[in-house]
Each structure stands twice: as C-alpha cells, then as structure tokens.
Structure 1
Amino acid sequence: MRISTVTMYEQSVGSLNQQQSDFLKVSQQLSSGRRVVNPSDDPQAASRAVGVDQAKAITQQYTDSRVSARNSLSQSESVLNSVSDAISSAKTLLIQASSDTLSDADRQSVASELRGVYETLFGQANAADGNGNYLFGGYSDDSEPFVKGSDGQIGYVGASQVREQRIDASRLMKVSDSGEAIFQSVPSGAGYVATADAANGGSVTFKGPQIVDDQAVTTDEAYTLSFDGDAASGYTYEVEDSDGNPVASGNYVPENGETTRVEFGGLVMELDGEPSAGDSIAINPADQGNTDLFSTLESALGVLESPAGTPAEKAALRNTLDTSMRELDNSLDNVLTVRASMGARLNELDVVDGVSSNRTLNYEQTLSDLVDLDYAEAISEYSLRQVGMQASQQTFANMKGMSLFQYL
C-alpha cells in the first residue's frame, strides 16, 4: 500500500494535537485542583456534584437563618434580664413602703423611685433591635407595642402572633415573644390573688390566700368574701363561689393584734381589723385577676401617692401593696419562664448548628470524592503526557526528514 507524504503529515499532526490536548487537560486539572473540570469529563459525577452542591447551599441558608434567629433571641433575652431586675427592684420598694413607720412624705419618695422603675419597664417593653424592629410586638414589629392612653394607662397594641423562622428543613422556631405574653400574663399554676374592693370603708387587712389542701383546690374557681353586721351586734363573714353558692361562713370578731383564719376550698386567709357592712374581698385565680404588670405598678403608685391617715386608708394601702407584691411575684415568675424558653431555644440553635456542621462536612467530603483531583495520580499522568508529547514531536521531526530524494 502506498503511503503518501500528505498522509504521513496528517497522521503526525493529528497525533501531536491529541497528545497536546491530553497534556493541556491534565494541566487544567492541576491548576484548578479538580478532576471534573467540564461535565463531559465525568457526566455521572458532575450530575451528582450539582445535587450535593445544591444541598450544601441550602444548608448554608439555614445556617444564616439561625444566625438571624440567635441575634433576635439573644437581644430579647438580654432585655428580659433587665426586666427581671426592674421587677425585683419594684418588689423591694413595695416592701419598704409597707413599713408602718413611713410618713406620707416618705411614701411619696418611694413612689417617685417606683415611677422610675415603671418608666424603665415601659421603655424595655418597647425595646427595638438594631434594625428598628420592636422585639415584643409580634407580627406588628414596625410600631411600638405598648402605648399610653389618654388616661395615662399603658395598653398593648401589638399582635398576639409571633414571628417564626425556619432554622432547619424540619424545624420552625419562634424567634420572638409577644409583649402580651410577657407583660400581661402569669404562669400556669400561679395560685390565687386576693383584692380588696376599692369601696371598702372598714380597716380589714388580709394575708394570703395560701393553699392548704391541694386536692380541695379548684384552680378555675373564684370566690368572694363579704362582711355584714356592725360593732354593736357583731360581724359575720360569708364566702361565696363564682355561682353565688356559700362555701364558708361564720362570726368575725375583730381582735387587736389577733388574726382570724378563714378556710374555704382548700385555701386559707388571715384577716385583721374592723370591717364595715358590705365590705368585700375578691379571691381569684391569678390568671383570672389582674395579670398586667403595668396595672399592678399603677395600683401601687396610686396608693403610695395618696395620703393614708384614716384606718380605712391605711388598710387600703396595706391591702393594695400586699396584692401588688403577689402580682409582681407572678409577673416575675412569668418573665423568668419566658426567659427559660428563650434559653432553651438558644440551646437548640447550638445543637442544630452542630448537626449542620457535620452535614456540611459530609457534603464537602462527598464533593471532594466526586470532583476533586488526586494530585499524585495527576502529576504522574502529567509527566507521562509530557513525555508522550515530546516523543510525538521528535517522531514527526524525524519522519518529515525522510525522503527518497536523499538516495538519488
């Protein structure tokens, strides 16, 4: 078979081009550090790598979401820490104001300090994050959740629904709590709170109620303790449930320095002082009475800023302060419960972060196995391709010099 000079040149150039292409491919792999530079290099590995890379990107999005959730919860928890301190300060001031040795001027001074605490709590309830979003407004985070009405009382105008954020594929987490749940609620099982009627004309003061029989207590039952009679004929008391049914009654004998125990529905109250006919005390489950922290402080400020000269005024002062202190205890317990919930969510974020980090490492390892380059193998092939290309070049150089004219 005759092999023409053109055929030899074409075959030699084709071989050179192929050797150079293979050499450049290995060079490109070495420079990029990837075995699969183009999908055509390994279609199956390239396809799997796209899926793994997308899963890794989604994991990173959830990681960014957890950073946002952690920032929001951390800021809220920090504010609630200050709220807890403020409530404790208010309780200390009320204990101080309960002393019988204080004059009206002294109580005014305590009221001035308590009003400062009141304004501090109002500011903390309207705390905002660095972006101007209010922490405790629920969905309505673009406006102040607590506002003062024309009567000077603070009311909640935010939303009861709270913002949620997806922190993982299967977890939707609350990243805020509404001001209503923090400042206008009490924890479950908070017990009972007694409140004297503002129209009482006598000097009866009370302590309690305390639970003495857990099995006899009906947590959703409210009671009313009322007095009748006069000093001449003697006083009686009667306790009625929310349906008006009497559950306890008896004679009430005011004794100076001695208290009268009244037991009903698994509860006990200690009474002291002289009543007036028609005086009454409401005993309600804590979650059915006043649950508003600001209303509690407003009631305490009202009696502290008013003179307490008559026995009835002194009794109103003592009863209001006792009720306010119990309500402050319930409010503090509620704030601590919410803080504990936030702490649990922050801990959960740390756990999910750990799981996510392991998942990301697995994705990176899988991607590496699919597309990354084995440098030892690649360098060996690079040297082999380089030698092959040099050999092809030398062969071509030798062949093109071969001609029959040299022998003529």
Structure 2
Amino acid sequence: MRISSVTMFEQSTASINQQQSDFLNVSKQIASGRRVVNPSDDPQAAARAVRVDQSKAVTQQFEDSRVSARNSLAQTESILNSVSDAVTSAKTLLVQASSDTLSDVDRESIASEMRGVYETMIGQANATDGNGRYLFGGYADNAPPFVKNADGDVEYKGDSNAREQRIDSSRLMPVTENGDSIFKSVPSGAGYVAEATKTDINGDPLAGNNARNDGSVSFGGPQVSNVNDDGYGDSYRIVFSDNTTDADVEFDYRVERFDAANDEWDTATPVENGNYTGDGQTVSFGGLDVTFDGEPEAGDQILVAQAGSDQREPNLFRTMEEAIRVLEKPVETDAEKADLRNTLNTSMRDLDNALDNVLTVRASAGARLNELDVVDAVGGNRMLNYEQTLSDLVDLDYVDAISEYSLRQVGLQASQQAFVDVKGMSLFDYLR
C-alpha cells in the first residue's frame, strides 16, 4: 500500500479536528455548567429535561397566582376587620342611645355619629383592589356593587358569586367575597328577631310610614323557651285588633304563622289568641316568649321571624338607616317613644347578627390565607424536587469535566505534535 504525503496530511488534519472538537465540547460544558448543552449530547435526558422544565414553569405560574390571591385575601381580611370595628361602634352608640335620660339633641348627636359610621360602611363595601376592581361585587367588579337608589336606600348591584383563582392544579380558591355574603347575610345559627312593622299578605314589610305601628305598644325579646317545640323555626306575627265582645278589654291579639307551603299568612287558624292586657304581658308560641307593654292600635303588628328567613331578610345598611331615622326624629308622643324603643331593640339584635356574620366571613378569609401558606410550602418542595431532577439530568459534574478537559487538551497537543513530526519526515534524510 502506497502512503502519499496527501494521505498523511489528511489523516493528521482529521485527527487534530476531532481532538479539537472534543476539547471544545468539554469547554462548552464547563462554561455553561451543563452536561447536556445540545440535545444530541444525550437525547433521552434532553427530552426528560424539557418535560421537567414545563412542570417548573407551571409550578412557577401557580406560585405567581398565589401571590395575587394572597394580596386579594389580605385586602379582604383588612376591610372586614374595619367593617367589624364599624359594626361594634354602631352597637356601642345604640346602647348609649337607649338611655331614657337623653334628650332629642343628644340622640341627634348620636345619629350624626351613626351616619358617619354608615357612610364609612358604604365606602368599605365599595373598596377596590390594587387593579381597580371592586372587591365585593363578585364577577361584576367593574362598577360599585352598592349604590343608593332614588329613595336613598342602598342596593346591591353585584352578582352572587365569589371571584375564584386557581392556586394549584387541584385547587380553585375564592379570593374575594360578594357583598351579599357580608352585608346582607347572617350566620346559619342566627336566632329570632322581632320587629314592629306591618306586613302585606306575603309577609313582606310595608314601606315607609305605612310600616309603622300607630299605637304605643313595645316588645321585649323574643326569648327562646323551647327549641324542641314543633313550631320552632317558623315565622310569626302578632296582630292587634279591637275587642268587640268584652267591654272591660279594649284589644285582642292573635298570633299568625306563615304558611311556607302556600306562601301566605295563615289567618284562619291562629297559633295563639286572647285578650291584650299590657303591663308586661307575655305571649308564648312556637317555643318563644315575647313580652309587651303599652297600648296598641287596631292593625298594629309585631313580626317575629328568624334572621335570614324570607320574612326577615338581613340587610346591614337597612338596619343602620332605621336606627338613624328614629334617632334623628324628635320623641314626643307615646307612639314615638315606642317606635324608638322597638327600633333600637331590633337594630341591636340585627347588629349582633351582622357582627357574627362579618367575623365568620373574616375567619373564612383567614383560613384561606393559612391554606395559601400550606400550598406555598408544598409548591416550594415540588420546585426543589424539579430542580434536583433537572440537575441530575443535565447539570455537569465538574470533577469529571475538568479531568476530561485536561485529557482532551493533552490529546490535542499530542495530535498537533505528531503532525509536526510526521510532516517533517523524508527519505532524503537517510541518503548518504
């Protein structure tokens, strides 16, 4: 076989290029800190690394989502704390206003403070997050959820949903509350509330002055006497009427039950009826006791229903409006005094229920903040596992790489030196 000079040069050049290529590959690995710089370095590891990278990206996205959810919940919890403080302040003012030693001017001063608390509540109900979205409007978050209508009553314009956000692959978390659940709800265990208001045939309170009793009858309670009574949980109303059979008794009363099946008051078969004597008279029905004083007028009514029922729908703003109304109004007649006592009695019970509800919702928001901490810890551990897996797949072992680098460097130098020695060889050197 004949070996020409061209063949020697080609083989030497190919060897040098191969050694240089191997040397540069190790150099790139050391410079990048990765064993798999190109997919061709380890196709199987490269494919698995792509999947791990995708999982890391999803985990990071959930982590960012939890940051946003935590901000919304923290704002919600802070505002609910302010609302609970406002309800407590309103209850304190009503207790102060219940004193018989106060004058009309004193009550008007308290009403002014109450109105300030009332306006503060409306502002808190229409609070926004950092992005300009209204917190308590549900998904209808582009407009104030609570607005005053032409009559001055506050109406809820949001929806009944709570805005949700996915914080993990298997968890869709509510990050806000809707206004209905805060300002127009009561806890599930809320008890009975009595209200001196006239109702229509469906049990709905009449509006304005038509809902006011004309007499001076006032009530105490209701007090629960027997929760096992068959009628406990139903709605009732006590209706006063003229007595036409006994000259010594001026008024009668009857207790009517709301027939939920027919959606009307059962006027034909009263639960209880009798003569009204006043002066601390107690009327018992449905496991409840209600005490009465004063003189009614025919047609006056006392509604007794569980808070949150269809006959006694909760509304924190309406409670505040009613309390402000009676405090701003001068008290002169017995009927006006009874209206003041009855309204303050009802309002304080409504405020107690409202405070319990706000604290319950706030506790729920706090529980979700704690859940975010737990999910964050799980997500952090998951991210560490992905980092470890990715490191095992593509990261470089520097000890092996530096040894390989030194070996390739020696090989390249030897190849270059061999080429220098070979190209200098000639048969003429051996001629004498």
Calculate the TM-score normalised by the size of structure 2. 0.91
Tell me the percent identity: 67
Match of 1:60 in 2: 60
Whichever residue aligns with residue 249 of structure 1, its letter is N
Matches within 5 A, 1:192-203: 192-197=192-197, 198-203=211-216
Matches within 5 A, 1:9-408: 9-197=9-197, 198-216=211-229, 218=231, 220-229=233-242, 233-234=248-249, 235-242=251-258, 243-244=266-267, 245-255=269-279, 259-288=280-309, 289-408=312-431
Cα separation, partners in 2 of 1:384 and 1:218, compared to 1, 3 Å: farther
Q: RMSD of the alignment, in Å?
A: 1.5
Q: Which amino acid aligns with 2:13?
A: V
Cα distance in 2, alignment partners of residues 263 and 361 from structure 1: 67
Number of residue equivalences: 405
Instruction: Describe the SS at the equivalent of 1:107.
Output: helix
User: Equivalent residue of 1:390, what SS?
Assistant: helix
Q: Quote the Cα distance in structure 1 between the aligned partners of 2:187 and 2:231.
A: 17
For residues 365-390 of structure 1, give each alpha carbon's deviation from its aligned partner in whole angstroms, at most 9, with x where no partner exists. 00000000000110111111111111
Give the secondary-structure state (helix, strand or coil) at the position aligned to 1:67.
Answer: helix
Question: Which digits, 9 at most, give the CA deviation of each residue in 1:263-294, with x for residues without a partner?
Answer: 21111112222333332201112112141111
Residue identity in the other structure for 1:111: A
Q: CA deviation at 1:217?
A: 5.9
Deviation at 1:229, TM superposition (A): 4.2
- Confirm or deny: 8 A CA contact 2:235 2:304 kept in the other structure: yes
Query: Aligned with 2:99: secondary structure?
Result: coil
- For 1:142 and 1:86, the matched residues in 2 are separated by 26
- Separation in 2 of the partners of 1:172 and 1:130? 21
1:232-281 CA-partner distances (Å, limit 9, x unpaired):
622433212112332223333233xxx22222111111222233333220
Q: For 1:202-237, what per-residue CA distance to the aligned partner results, in whole angstroms no more than 9, with x for missing partners?
A: 322212112221222656511011233469622433
Distance in 2 (CA, whole Å) between partners of 1:152 and 1:251 is 40
- Following superposition, the deviation at residue 57 of structure 1 comes to 0.2
Secondary structure of the structure 1 residue equivalent to 2:271: strand
> Using the alignment, how far apart are the partners of 1:345 and 1:218 within structure 2?
38
Q: Is the 8 A contact 1:211 1:217 kept in 2?
A: no
Range 396-405 or range 54-63, more displaced: 396-405
> What secondary structure, in the 3-state scheme, does the structure 1 residue paired with 2:331 have?
coil
Query: 2:97, 2:380 → 1: CA distance?
Result: 55
Q: Distance in 1 between matches of 2:397 and 2:178?
A: 55
Instruction: Find runs of 4+ consecutive structure 1 residues off by over 4 angstroms.
Output: 217-220, 229-232
Deviates more, 1:193-202 or 1:214-223: 214-223
Q: Is the 8 A contact 2:232 2:286 kept in 1?
A: no
Instruction: State the SS of the aligned residue for 2:292.
Output: strand
* TM-score (structure 1 length as normaliser): 0.96
Question: After superposition, what is the alpha-carbon deviation per residue over 1:323-347, rounded to whole angstroms, capped at 9, x for unaligned?
Answer: 0111111111111111111111111
Q: Structure 2: state its 5+ residue gaps.
A: 198-210, 259-265
Q: Secondary structure at the match of 2:228?
A: helix
2:207 maps to which residue?
none
